[in-house]
Amino acid sequence: MMKSNVMENEVRDEAMERIFVEKEMEREVKWLLSIHADEGWYWTGTKTALAGLLYHVFSRGTLYDSSGRLLSFKSIVRQVFENLHLSVPKNPTSFALRAYICKGIKQLPLLESYRYAMFEKNCKNPLAVFLRQEK
C-alpha cells in the first residue's frame, strides 16, 4: 500500500510539473511575441529549437491576436523570428518538426528539457539562456 501511494504522488507531482512547464513556455512565447526588433533582443540558440518551442505552444491553441482569433503558426514564427533578428524559414512547420526528430542524437524532448532546467537546475527562465540584448 505504501509503495502505491509513493508512486501515485510521484505521478501527480510529474503531472503538476508538466502543467507548470506548459504554462511557463506559453508565458515566454507570449513575451517573445510582445517584444520588438528595435529592443535589440537576439536568439543565440538554434533556429530549430526556437521553432520547436513555438510549434509546441502553438499546438496547445492558446495564442490569440487582438481580435480574439487563434494565431497561425506561420504568423507566430514570422513575428518571433523577426523580433529576434532571424531569417524566417520558408516552411516553418517542417522546420519546427525537426525539433522533434532526434536524427541519431540522444536528445531530451523539448518539454522534458524545459522541465529539467526549471526543476532540476532551478532555472526560473530557461529561455534566458538563449537570449542576449544589444542596444
State the pLDDT at residue 42: 97
Q: What is the pLDDT of residues 20-48, one digit of tens each?
A: 888 999 999 999 999 999 999 999 988 88
State the pLDDT at residue 116: 83
Average pLDDT over residues 99-123: 70
CA atoms of 29 and 26, how far apart (whole Å) = 5
Helices (H), 35-134: 47-58, 73-83, 92-97, 110-115
CA atoms of 46 and 116, how far apart (whole Å) = 19
Whether residue 105 is predicted with pLDDT greater than 60 in this model: the reply is no
54 vs 18, which has greater pLDDT? 54
Of 44, 14, 28, 46, whose CA–CA distance to 115 is shortest? 14
